[in-house]
A and B are shown apart, each in its own frame.
Chain A
Amino acid sequence: MEIEKTSRSTIEDDEILRRAEAFGVDLSLLRERLTWTPTERLERLFEVLEFVEALQAAGRWAHGEP
């Protein structure tokens, strides 16, 4: 009974993953993030935001904006 339940939920999870991938979700990125700690996930986000801010500042400078 337990094996039946487990295999049913595995099939359901496989279907969820298939649908997500078809929607455009990059599962490899999710798998990678699951190996990180919550702190590492937030630190990576802050790094990305710093990079975006630098790009925005460069764009403003290039257009002569303050």
Chain B
Amino acid sequence: MASLKQLIEALCKGKVQFVIIGGMATVAQGVTYVTVDLDICYERSAQNCERIADTLAPFQPYLRDAPPGLPFVLDAATIQVGLNFTLSTTAGDLDLIGEVAGLGAYDSVLANSEPLELFGLTCSVLTLEGLLKAKRASGRPRDLLLIPELEALLALRRKAEA
């Protein structure tokens, strides 16, 4: 599972415009949560879709839970005609998200993110406030369960800064 680290490193080094969202962002921010996949919100320009396709190609991305043998290729054209992709890769599960509930598309998600140093690289990660907006908007029970912990972390940070 350490290979999800390789995925993060590859996306950063490939100059992909992305923000880490979802469970991995909650963990990076300090929540006591266990997640097995990496969710990212990506910028949808042709150039960035090209970078995503090039960066992920060595990890053999394939549609998660789809039967094997489908004629699926994650190239720039495929990314541009789609929006959200749930993928399995040789480095672990990866969700490419074009729009985040409660936040919107990449620019808005980026505005709700902060640069964090991860494994020696600087990555944009959704803030605690951004995570709260997204979790509240999704309305899924598993997301709503995280809200008290996210609110508590924010309160602890405020108290530490006061």
Q: Which of B31-39, B94-102, B135-143 contacts A (4 or more CB under 8 A)?
A: B31-39
Residues of A within 8 A of B81 (CB): none
Determine if B27 and A41 form an interchain contact, defined as CB atoms under 8 angstroms apart. yes
Identify whether the interface residues of B are mostly helix, strand, loop, or mixed.
helix
A45 lies within 8 A of B30 (CB): no
**8 Å CB contacts to B: which residues of A2-53?**
6, 9-10, 12-14, 16-17, 19-21, 23-27, 29-31, 33-34, 36-39, 41-42, 45-46, 48-50, 52-53
Chain A contacts of B53 at CB under 8 A?
A: none
B157 — which chain A residues lie within 8 A by C-beta? 34
In this complex, the interface size class of chain B, counting residues with CB under 8 Å from chain A, is 20 to 34
State which of B58-66, B71-79, B112-120 sits at the interface with chain A.
B112-120
Minimum CB–CB distance for A10 against chain B, Å: 6
B151 at interface, CB cutoff 8 A: yes
Whole-angstrom CA separation of A46 from B92 in the bound complex: 12
5 intermolecular pairs with C-beta atoms under 8 Å apart: A9-B162, A16-B152, A25-B148, A38-B28, A42-B28
Sample of 16 more A-B contacts, CB < 8 Å, known A31-B156, A34-B30, A49-B36? A6-B162, A13-B156, A16-B151, A17-B156, A23-B148, A30-B152, A30-B156, A33-B30, A37-B117, A38-B117, A39-B119, A42-B5, A45-B27, A46-B4, A49-B1, A52-B34
